[in-house]
């Protein structure tokens, strides 16, 4: 019997492996795709997040290739204009990776690494986020247990002996939020410091701050999919740290 009172945790293991697999595919592809392309195919581009900027050479999905979109001003006041880049003209694999990145990342060349003579599809912070997602999926597959709610399934990642007082004093929400804030804090501090001051993070700190955020996001996604109350006959059947027990309001009344 598992520590949550169920006979097995096959669902949690599968969910974690799916998260790790999908995230790992993109993480490794961010390095592999620029290596496959001829050197100089993708150089010093700049786009916008949450929109397609490099789908074609012109038109509504080609802002990055327009005269205003391809012109970029550096922090020191100098400017450069990058060459035309269109991911729809690439082979299906590299085209998919750069299209995914085009939609989800700003692709600022100053915040991206170069691999094999080409700019990586995403910025260094996103590289860190996807590494965190991949590792979070691995950890979820190994440690997570369905404990009725998303919150308690997230907390199941921690050793039960750490959570005895949390459950005895019913401080689960505080503990859950504290863990989330702790994992997001490096990214928030780095981002808001750049926004409010003259500080500019670098391509060493950006992946380090993205990693914990990705880790927490993977656990939250996994818990959202893995928390299933119907796996238990009643709330009281969920085994919790410190011999605590759930009691629904209807049962109290």
* CB count in 10 Å sphere of residue 177: 11
pLDDT confidence of residue 200: 77
Identify the DSSP state of 82: P
Residue 138 and residue 16 in contact, taking contact as beta carbons nearer than 8 Å:
yes
Task: With beta carbons less than 8 A apart as the criterion, state whether 152 and 227 touch.
Answer: yes
For the chain, the structural domain boundaries read 23-123, 127-244
Q: What pLDDT sits at residue 251? A: 46
* pLDDT recorded at residue 223: 97
- pLDDT for 32: 98
What is the per-residue pLDDT for 107? 92
Q: Is 128 helix (H, G, I), strand (E, B) or coil?
A: helix
The structure tokens listed for 137 are 């999926």
The pLDDT score that the predictor gives to residue 249 is 59
Residue 180, classified by CB atoms within 10 Å of its CB into exposed (0-12), middle (13-18) or buried (19+), is: middle
Is 0.75 surpassed by the pTM of this model? yes
Identify whether the C-beta of residue 52 lies closer than 8 Å to the C-beta of residue 64: no
Residue-level pLDDT at 248 = 61
pLDDT in tens, the chain (253 residues): 899 999 999 999 999 999 999 999 999 999 999 999 999 999 999 888 899 999 998 888 888 888 887 877 766 677 878 788 999 999 999 999 999 999 999 999 989 999 999 999 999 999 999 999 999 999 999 999 999 999 999 999 999 999 999 999 999 999 999 999 999 999 999 888 877 787 778 888 999 999 999 999 999 999 999 999 999 988 889 999 988 888 765 544 4
Q: Which regions of the chain does DSSP assign to beta strands (E)?
A: 71-73, 79-81, 114-115, 118-119
């Amino acid at each position: 019997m598992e520590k949550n009172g169920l006979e097995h945790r096959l669902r949690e293991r599968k969910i974690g492996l799916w998260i790790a697999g999908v995230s790992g595919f993109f993480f490794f592809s961010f390095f592999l795709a620029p290596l496959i392309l001829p050197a100089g195919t993708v150089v010093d581009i700049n786009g916008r997040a949450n929109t397609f900027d490099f789908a074609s050479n012109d038109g509504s999905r080609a802002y990055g290739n327009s005269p205003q979109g391809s012109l970029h001003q550096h922090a020191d006041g100098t400017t450069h204009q990058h060459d035309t880049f269109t991911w729809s003209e690439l082979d299906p694999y590299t085209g998919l990776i750069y299209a995914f990145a085009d939609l989800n990342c700003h692709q600022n060349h100053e915040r991206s690494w170069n691999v094999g003579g080409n700019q990586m599809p995403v910025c260094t912070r996103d590289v860190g986020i996807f590494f965190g997602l991949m590792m979070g999926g691995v950890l979820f597959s190994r440690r997570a247990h369905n404990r009725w709610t998303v919150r308690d399934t997230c907390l199941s990642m921690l050793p039960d002996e750490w959570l005895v007082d949390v459950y005895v004093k019913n401080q689960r929400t505080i503990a859950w939020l504290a863990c989330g804030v702790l994992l997001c804090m490096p990214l928030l501090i780095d981002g808001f410091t750049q926004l409010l001051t003259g500080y500019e993070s670098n391509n060493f700190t950006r992946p380090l701050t993205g990693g914990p955020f990705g880790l927490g996001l993977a656990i939250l996604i996994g818990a959202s999919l893995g928390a299933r109350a119907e796996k238990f006959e009643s709330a009281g059947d969920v085994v919790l740290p410190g011999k605590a027990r759930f009691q629904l309001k209807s049962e109290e009344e």
